[in-house]
Amino acid sequence: MIKVDAISKTYRVWTSPLSRILVSLAHRCLRPLTPDIYEGIYSRHCTEIEALGDVSFHLEQGDSLGIIGLNGSGKSTLLQIVAGTLQATSGRVDVKGRVAALLELGSGFDPEFTGRENVYLNAAILGLDAAQIDACYEDIVRFADIGDSIERQVKTYSSGMLIRLAFAVQVHVDPDILIVDEALAVGDARFQAKALNKLEEILSRGTTLLFVGHDLNTVRSFCHRAILLHGGRMLSDGLPDEVIADYLKLVQSQQLEDTSNVESKSVTNGFSVDNYMVNRAEIDGYGDHAELSYDSAVDIRLNLSLGNSAAAPFLILDIIDQKGLQLSGKRIPIPCEQHETDKMSIRINLRCCFQQGLYRFRFRIVDAPSIDQTRLLSRQDDLISLNMVEDMREKFTGLFPVSMTFEWSESL
């Protein structure tokens, strides 16, 4: 169980390590007598940087929380506070149970020692006694899958081997709370799949998970809940899909701020700059959602409003599956000569040859004098969606068919 109650973390950057203790002493001895002198000493020896402000959440046993945010938003600080390696400046943290933290994998390893010795050391740090380590040692070695190297010094390991061994130790000590900080981004595809399976297995045993990652799909598939941190504050808190949408909006708006000073505003399911946006979208005869059988024709009608800041505007339509994978799409140039009117409409016809499942359309309007110089003007998700109801697995694998022919012959 994790209970985080209004914590904030202010990093104090000290002029020298001695300042840290000098100020503590001054705080105790000088402040009651002469607050002014104390303030003087304080400001001379220390600068404050706020990394986290007023973050609260509560997780019961078995919950899983994803934490997303841009770099420097305080994600790692939050994890470290929950893990207990950092102290919060104010607020309360209650953590019950054994915490295994995959903060920086392998950082507790001693390069001069063999894999076996490090496994024992690491497991002992996590609070296991000798008998418990003996019991899970074989599992750890099998999971890490590094063969005879387990008897060699860790300094001879490749970084992949090191990560695999470290990960194996952490997940086999049967933690009550598992804290994962982008640790899965390393290792080859085979190990990643194995690691994700293991995480799932641990979660099914009722372990509480705290996950930080830029891999939104993992957040979506593992977490019941997510929070978005920005500048140390909780920007949103809710179901992973909602929070991820907020995050993407944040990312886009940051990119816009970087490239231009135009104000962006939030519009239906997205954002827009300079009035470029899709005002209305519908699938002819269905509205904003259609239930379709395989190979049906679809007629999409869009009303756009346009600003006048783009020299070469394009409408981009993307077809996206449930997991966020972009299947295909099209860049459609917006004719410039009729640009004087700031409203236009377009009809797009396509045949939906997709596997059973839910598909979304994403619309973007960009200014792109060339394909590499794209400036995003608007982006709207989830205006319209399709549900393909027919199971087409007999006809093709994957999400859509590719034309192919085959011919059997007898080989000699």
Partner 1 sequence: MTSHMFSALGKHKTLIKQLLVREISSRYRGSIMGIVWSLVTPILMLGIYTFVFKYIFKARWTVPTADGEVLSFAMILFLGMLVHGMLADILMRSPGLIVENVNFVKKVVFPLETLSWVTLFSTIFNFVIGFFLLLGFVYIELGQIPVTALLVPVILLPYFLLLLGVSWLLAALGVYVRDIQQVSGTLATLLLFLSPVFYSISILPDNLQLLIRFNPITVIVEACRSVVIFGEQPNYYYLTVYSVVALFVAVLGFTLFNRMRRGFADVL
The only residue of 39, 48, 54, 112 in contact with partner 1, by rule CB under 8 A: 112
The only residue of 127, 147, 335, 369 in contact with partner 1, by rule CB under 8 A: 127
User: Whose structure tokens read 């299947």?
Assistant: 327
Strand partners, 88: none
User: Which range touches partner 1 (CB under 8 A), out of 82-90, 225-233, 249-257, 397-405?
Assistant: 82-90
CB of 24 or CB of 34, closer to partner 1: 24
Q: How many CB atoms lie within 10 A of CB 112?
A: 10
**Encoding tokens for residue 186?**
């390393």
Q: How far is the CB of 48 from partner 1 (least distance, A)?
A: 12
Q: Please report, for the chain, how many H helices and E strands are present, in that order.
A: 9, 20
CB of 107 or CB of 405, closer to partner 1: 107
User: Which range touches partner 1 (CB under 8 A), out of 129-137, 201-209, 331-339, 383-391?
Assistant: 129-137
In what side-by-side order are the strands of the sheet with 343-352?
Answer: 277-283, 296-305, 343-352
Measured between alpha carbons, how far is 108 from 315 in angstroms, rounded to an integer?
A: 51
Render 256-305 in DSSP notation, one character per residue.
HHHH----EEEETTEEEETT-EEEEEEETTTBSEEEE-TTEEEEEEEEEE
H or E, element range at 217: helix 216-222
338-347 as b/e: b if 16+ CB within 10 A: eeeeeeeeee
Measured between alpha carbons, how far is 49 from 44 in angstroms, rounded to an integer?
A: 15
Decide if 312 contacts 368 (C-beta within 8 A). yes
Q: With binding defined as CB under 8 A, does residue 101 bind partner 1?
A: yes
The only residue of 43, 47, 61, 85 in contact with partner 1, by rule CB under 8 A: 85
Render 78-141 in DSSP notation, one character per residue.
HHHHHHTSS--SEEEEEE-S-EEEESSTTTT--TTSBHHHHHHHHHHHTT--HHHHHHHHHHHH
**Encoding tokens for residue 297?**
């024709």
The only residue of 1, 3, 5, 14 in contact with partner 1, by rule CB under 8 A: 14
Decide if 78 contacts 226 (C-beta within 8 A). no
Q: With binding defined as CB under 8 A, does residue 129 bind partner 1?
A: yes
Find all residues with CB under 8 Å of 330, minimum gap 6, and list them: 316, 317, 348
The only residue of 1, 50, 62, 108 in contact with partner 1, by rule CB under 8 A: 108
Q: With binding defined as CB under 8 A, does residue 177 bind partner 1?
A: no
Q: With binding defined as CB under 8 A, does residue 29 bind partner 1?
A: no
Q: How far is the CB of 52 from partner 1 (least distance, A)?
A: 14
Q: How far is the CB of 200 from partner 1 (least distance, A)?
A: 24
Q: How far is the CB of 18 from partner 1 (least distance, A)?
A: 5
Site string for partner 1, 358-397 (x = CB under 8 A): ----------------------------------------
Site string for partner 1, 137-156 (x = CB under 8 A): --------------------
Q: With binding defined as CB under 8 A, does residue 410 bind partner 1?
A: no
Q: How far is the CB of 88 from partner 1 (least distance, A)?
A: 11
User: Is the CA virtual torsion 186, 187, 190, 193 positive or negative?
Assistant: negative
Decide if 34 contacts 193 (C-beta within 8 A). no
Three-state DSSP at 411 gives: coil
Q: With binding defined as CB under 8 A, does residue 12 bind partner 1?
A: yes
Q: With binding defined as CB under 8 A, does residue 266 bind partner 1?
A: no
The only residue of 2, 103, 165, 227 in contact with partner 1, by rule CB under 8 A: 103
Q: How far is the CB of 179 from partner 1 (least distance, A)?
A: 10
Q: How far is the CB of 202 from partner 1 (least distance, A)?
A: 18
User: Which range touches partner 1 (CB under 8 A), out of 106-114, 194-202, 229-237, 389-397?
Assistant: 106-114
CB of 89 or CB of 305, closer to partner 1: 89
Measured between alpha carbons, how far is 313 from 300 in angstroms, rounded to an integer?
A: 20
Residue 337 CA from chain centroid, whole number:
42
The only residue of 20, 27, 323, 351 in contact with partner 1, by rule CB under 8 A: 20
Q: Which residues bind partner 1 (CB under 8 A)?
A: 11-12, 14, 17-18, 20-21, 24, 80, 83-87, 99, 101, 103-104, 107-108, 110, 112-113, 117, 120-121, 124-125, 127-130, 133
